[in-house]
Amino acid sequence: MAASNSAGLTTRSLKLIHRLEDSLLVGLLLAMLFLAVAQILLRNLLDVGLVWADPLLRIMLLWLGLLGALAASRDNKHISIDILTRLLPARVRLLSHCFTALFTVCISGLIAYHSGRFVVAEFEAHATAVMGVPAWCFEIIIPLAFALIALRYLLHFGLHVSALRGKTAPP
C-alpha cells in the first residue's frame, strides 16, 4: 500500500516536472520568436532597436538549447551511434546501455560540478551581463541542466539494471 502510494507520488511529481519543463520550452521559443520579429519590425519601420533584445535573444538560445537537451535526456533521445548496439543480442545491449548511462552520469556530473564552480566565482565577483543583471543569473542554467541530465541518466541506469536482473521489462 505504502509502496504503491509513494510510486504514485513519484509518477505524479515526475509528470509535474515534465509539464513544467515543457511549458518552459514552449514559453521560451514563443518569446524568442516574438522578440525577434518585434526587433525586425522596429528596425525596419521605425529605424530603432531595443538595445537589450539581441543579447537577450542569444541568452534565450542558450537556455532553449540546454533545456532541449534536458528534455532529450528524458527519453534517452540524445544523438548517438547505434550501428553496433543494433547488432548486439538483447542482454548484451542492456549491459551496454547500463554502462553508457553510467558514463553519461559521470561526464554530465563533472561538467555540472566544474561549471557550478565557475558560476559561484562569478557570483562572488559580482560580474554583470546585460543591463546590469548579474551574470550568474544567466549562467546558472549550465550547471543546472547538466546536473539534471546526470540525474536523469542515473534514473535510466537504475531502470536498465533492474531490467538486467530480470525484475522489470527492458525500458
Q: Which of 59, 154, 155, 164 binds other proteins (CB under 8 A)?
A: 59
Q: Give the span between the Cα atoms of 105 and 94, in whole angstroms.
A: 17
Q: Which of 16, 40, 51, 127 binds other proteins (CB under 8 A)?
A: 40
Which residue, 142 or 159, is less far from other proteins as judged by CB?
A: 142
Task: Compose the 85-124 pattern: x for residues touching other proteins by CB under 8 A, - for all others.
Answer: x----------xx-xx--xx--xx-xx--xx-xxx-x---
Which residue, 6 or 78, is less far from other proteins as judged by CB?
A: 78
Q: Applying CB under 8 A, does 70 fall inside the site for other proteins?
A: yes
Please report how many Cα atoms fall inside a 13 Å half-sphere around the Cα of residue 11, on the Cβ side.
5
Contact 126, 118 (CB under 8 A): no
Closest Cα partner for 152 from 4, 6, 21? 21
Contact 170, 94 (CB under 8 A): yes
Residue 102: φ, ψ to 5°:
-65, -40
Least distance (Å) between residue 171 CB and other proteins: 14
Show the DSSP H helices in 42-140 as ranges: 53-74, 83-87, 90-124, 135-139
Q: Which residues bind other proteins (CB under 8 A)?
A: 22-23, 25-26, 29-30, 32-34, 36-37, 40, 54, 57-59, 61-62, 64-72, 76-85, 96-97, 99-100, 103-104, 107-108, 110-111, 114-115, 117-119, 121, 138-139, 142-143
